[in-house]
Amino acid sequence: MEGVPDRRNLPPLRLHVPEPRFRPGDSVDFGDLAIPAAGTAPRPAADAAPDSFHDLAYTMVRVLDDNGQAVGPWDPRLTPDRLRAMLRAMALTRAFDERMFRAQRQGKTSFYMKCTGEEAVAVAAAFALQPDDMCFPSYRQQGLLIARDWDIVDMMNQIYSNRGDRLQGKQLPIMYSVREASFFSISGNLTTQYPQAVGWAMASAAKGDTRIAATWCGEGSTAEGDFHSACTFASVYRAPVIMNVVNNQWAISSFSGFAGAESTTFAARAIGYGIAGLRVDGNDALAVYAATEWAAERARTNQGPTLIEHFTYRAEGHSTSDDPSAYRSADERSEWPLGDPIARLKQHLIALGEWDDERHAAMDLELAEYVKAAARTAEKNGVLGHGMHQPMETLFEGVFEEIPWHLEEQRAQMLSEYDVAGRPGARK
């Protein structure tokens, strides 16, 4: 055809489809991961311009070395009491997960999601934030509530959707909402919390408040449009917000390459928006604490937002509905080079002479008994699937400040039909 160039000598186009490095049955070797030595990343001043430390989006902030020593400029220099409190909160989070996972397997609830191996991402951050800073979590940050000393019986009531459920059975299990703990409602729709957090932070700034916001999402969720909308608004208005990306290597069954991990780091996404970006060892509680503390200072002094990539590993399945053996090698968990966050903080305290194996074992036993007793208390309010635990009329409550007339009519019709059917109506 006239005007069309001759392309017969050109190679055909090819579509690149990312492939994980290891499949089920493969031996695992993470030797090619670039893990910088602890203490080597520089710590800029909290008021430094974001474009003056781009390298921090490509390296990794680490504090704990292989001997359990805290080294380098990011060492937050926490007291032994503070370290023990953080270790306890992480261990309690894991004990809570174990008990609730077992409850799901026993048919007491429909669904659960563990954060095994990721406890530092939420717990250490909570310790670095102020108690009234607003958190906009994803569904694997139960450690935020536990670190803020929230009642685990209340959390279990929500998981069981029982009579004590503050959300009246309206949310999926583990999708908590605790205004009193500055913990925003978890959503099953990915990354909706990002623009919500940025909007809340903008409102806080507009009111002249001193509270900041922090939000979390998985690395796969950075492919959602909400993530990029949030980054735009945060950058333009210099919102006082910390945006955490939990890079645990896997979405439910697709690896991080489908979200862009083959091309660059997730922290590097901050650079294009003019946002401060850090890449942090997510299994190092001190590094997470230090990075969050630094980002919080930036936010509180009107330096704008910070995006933190927490480089970690999802040790368990995505949820109780997932079988990770179907898509990843069984050796990945044991071969992960950054270790276990609880074991590493324990090692640090032992190296300081402030902890030992005997006290740690006693703490684990105490926490297991504590969680067991809490579960028994919560189960007295009922468990999911053992009948209705909330009055029928509450189905329409907690959505609108004032129920619209048409919903009032629907509620009346529902209750009338429910009573006529001979079942225990809510008005009897």
The answer as to whether 35 is a domain residue is no
Above pLDDT 70, what percent of the chain? Answer: 97
Above pLDDT 90, what percent of the chain? Answer: 86
Per-residue pLDDT at 420: 62
Per-residue pLDDT at 232: 98
Number of domain units in the chain: 2
Four-residue CA torsion sign, 140, 283, 297, 85 = positive
Q: Do 319 and 198 have their domain in common? A: yes
231-239: average pLDDT: 98
316-343: average pLDDT: 93
Range of 403's domain?
Answer: 391-428
Q: Do 196 and 340 have their domain in common? A: yes
Q: Do 340 and 413 have their domain in common? A: no
Q: Do 117 and 82 have their domain in common? A: yes
Per-residue pLDDT at 427: 44
The answer as to whether 403 is a domain residue is yes
Instruction: Express each pLDDT in 156-169 by its tens digit.
Output: 999 999 999 999 99
| pLDDT above 70 (res 149) | yes
CATH number at residue 324: 3.40.50.970
> Where does the pLDDT of residue 421 fall: very low under 50, low under 70, confident under 90, or very high at 90 and above?
low
Alpha-carbon distance of 261 to 164, in angstroms, equals 42
Q: Do 364 and 397 have their domain in common? A: no
Instruction: Express each pLDDT in 387-398 by its tens digit.
Output: 778 888 888 888
Burial class of residue 401 in the structure, from the number of CB atoms within 10 Å of its CB (0-12 exposed, 13-18 middle, 19+ buried) = exposed
Q: Do 193 and 260 have their domain in common? A: yes
Instruction: Express each pLDDT in 1-50 by its tens digit.
Output: 677 888 888 999 999 999 999 999 999 999 989 999 999 999 999 999 99
The answer as to whether 26 is a domain residue is no
231-237: average pLDDT: 98
Per-residue pLDDT at 1: 63
Q: Do 370 and 397 have their domain in common? A: no
- Beta bridge pairs of residue 215: 136, 243
| pLDDT above 80 (res 97) | yes
Q: Mean pLDDT, the chain, as a whole number?
A: 94
Q: Do 262 and 404 have their domain in common? A: no
- Beta bridge pairs of residue 276: 306
